[in-house]
Amino acid sequence: MPILSLGSDDQLNVGFDELSHTYHRYIVHLEHCEPDWSTTESLFENDWLEGFNDWPIEQYENSLNTTVLYTHYTLQIPNEQCKLKMSGNYRLHLLDEDNDNEEVAVVEFRVVEPLMGIRMEATTNTDLGLNNKYQQINMVVSFNNVRVTNFRDQIQAFVLQNGREDNMKENVAPNYVNTAELRWEHNLKLIFDAGNEYHKYEILDPTHPTMGIEHIVWNEEDKRYHVFPFQCEPRRNYLYDRDANGAFYIRNSDNFENDRTCDYVLVHYKICPSRQYDSRVIINGNWTTEPQDNYLMEYDEKDHSYNATILQKQGYYNYQYLLLDYDGITHQMPEEGSFFQTENQYQALVYFKGNNDRTWRLVGFSEISTGQ
């Protein structure tokens, strides 16, 4: 997860591509946010920012020997123009100054000041069954030297699975409370579907298939490489397969200057479930950062499959299929399977707002892995 430690040497690196060789003057605008990602209204900019806001991106380079032309832009935070003075949530807006400051992308990240301690454990002995399809999180938050007078009003706690916010557990009431800590033990609301290992593939060279790729073809009409990962079949039993829990990594077979030498290809996803669902089917991973509608799959009645084609940059990708209800809630797809043995990462975020504080600070972060 993109989380920086306040006052440390941590640095957030942001990279993105504009699909041409035409230079754009991009401006970076930062804002401080509350734990629910609403904009903080109670602070002045100089409360949380040292330096300047609305600064231009000066690092960019054109793609080299690619069928799809693009310009790669990069920026770092903190930098000489700006440093962050407070913990909490931050949203970074990328604005195109050459096009009436149109917003072209948004980056969300967090800054933590570790004032509280967090101990976590994941167990498959859950209140919904032993060694079934669930994993349960037990957690202790120690206040340390932070004065907490009313935890209900002063503390917000979030638990995530593999950094996902679509199935995040938000402000679950603890089972036990005392003057020094909060404790969650066998709490029904901290039970997650264990899910299954992510699917994965790697595109190292668009001229021939590599890991997880069935075949690649060049299309003369659109002048693009079309990549076909192996069709996903229902997974009835658990089989360990080392994955990266939704992560991705841009690279090619040369693994040199990847940011500007990796090409863009059209990736064709396909899964054949046992039936057509009333819910929509989406592709999900840490790289699916656009609105969920951009990753919707269409049902093909001829071969009873769900399909999607997405333009992606060469590299290694993890992904999973989810059901998306029309109210925005996601669920595990039955064909994907859910097994207690699945290796997952769990993250805990703890926010604190003192009696005299004007906003929430992120005062604790912890991460654990389960399984193998």
Question: In whole numbers, what is the pLDDT of the chain averaged over residues?
Answer: 95
Q: Please state, in angstroms and as integers, the Cα–Cα distance from residue 112 to each residue in 4, 10, 36, 335, 365, following that order.
A: 6, 11, 16, 38, 7
pLDDT-derived band at 372 (thresholds 50, 70, 90) equals low
pLDDT at residue 252 in the model: 95
Q: Does pLDDT of 107 surpass 80?
A: yes
The 10s digit of each residue's pLDDT in 40-69 is 999 999 999 999 999 999 999 999 999 999
Segment 154-196, tens digit of pLDDT: 999 999 999 999 999 999 999 999 999 999 999 999 999 999 9
**Six-digit token string for 296:** 């919707």
DSSP, res 242: -
**pLDDT at residue 270 greater than cutoff 90:** yes
Quote the number of domains for the chain: 3
Cβ-based neighbours of 352, under 8 Å, separated by 6 or more: 115, 116, 146, 148, 154, 155, 360, 361, 363
Three-class secondary structure of residue 261 per DSSP: helix
What is the per-residue DSSP string for 129-176? EESSSEEEEEEEEE-TT---S-HHHHEEEEEEETTEEEEEEESPPPSE
Domain region containing 355: 117-195+342-369
Across 106-129, average pLDDT = 96
Chain segment 332-351, per-residue pLDDT in tens: 999 999 999 999 999 999 99
pTM for the predicted model, two decimal places: 0.95
Position of tokens 């097994």? Answer: 339
**Residues 203 and 265 sit within 8 Å (Cβ to Cβ):** yes
Distant-in-sequence, close-in-space partners of 291: CB < 8 Å, separation ≥ 6:
none
Residues 187 and 203 in one domain: no
Question: Do 79 and 104 fall into the same domain?
Answer: yes
Q: Are residues 209 and 261 in the same domain?
A: yes
> Are residues 103 and 13 both part of a single domain?
yes
Examine the domain organization and report whether 156 and 231 are in the same domain.
no
Identity of residue 359: T
pLDDT digits (tens, 9 = 90+) for 130-158: 999 999 999 999 999 999 999 999 999 99
With tokens 């770092």, the residue in question is 76
Task: Tell me: pLDDT of 371 over 90.
Answer: no
Same domain, 68 and 176: no
Question: SS3 of 294, please?
Answer: helix
Where is the domain boundary, 82, 112, 142?
Answer: 112
Instruction: Enumerate the H helices of the chain as residue ranges.
Output: 45-48, 151-154, 258-261
Domain edge (last residue) among 77, 94, 112: 112
| Banded model confidence at residue 274, pLDDT cuts 50, 70, 90 | confident
Evaluate whether 50 touches 44 at the Cβ level (below 8 Å).
no
Kindly state the average pLDDT of the residues 303-315. Answer: 96
Rounded percentage of the chain residues whose pLDDT exceeds 70: 100
pLDDT tens-digit series, residues 2-34: 999 999 999 999 999 999 999 999 999 999 999
CA 205 to chain centre: 26
What average pLDDT does this structure show over 32-37? 97
218 and 163 both lie in a single domain:
no
Q: Are residues 308 and 361 in the same domain?
A: no
In this model, does residue 97 exceed pLDDT 80? yes
Tokens 């503390």 correspond to: 155
Residues 253 and 283 in one domain: yes
Last residue of a domain, one of 60, 92, 112: 112
87 and 126 inside one domain:
no
Identify the CATH number of the domain in which residue 8 sits.
2.60.40
Token pair, residue 45, equals 């900019």
**AA identity, residue 333:** M
CA distance 306 to 271: 5
Residues 61 and 172 in one domain: no
The answer to whether the CB of 198 falls within 8 A of the CB of 243 is: yes
Q: Please, is 64 exposed, middle or buried when counting C-beta atoms within 10 Å of its C-beta (0-12, 13-18, 19+)?
A: exposed
Q: Examine the domain organization and report whether 239 and 323 are in the same domain.
A: yes
**Tokens matching residue 269:** 């996803």
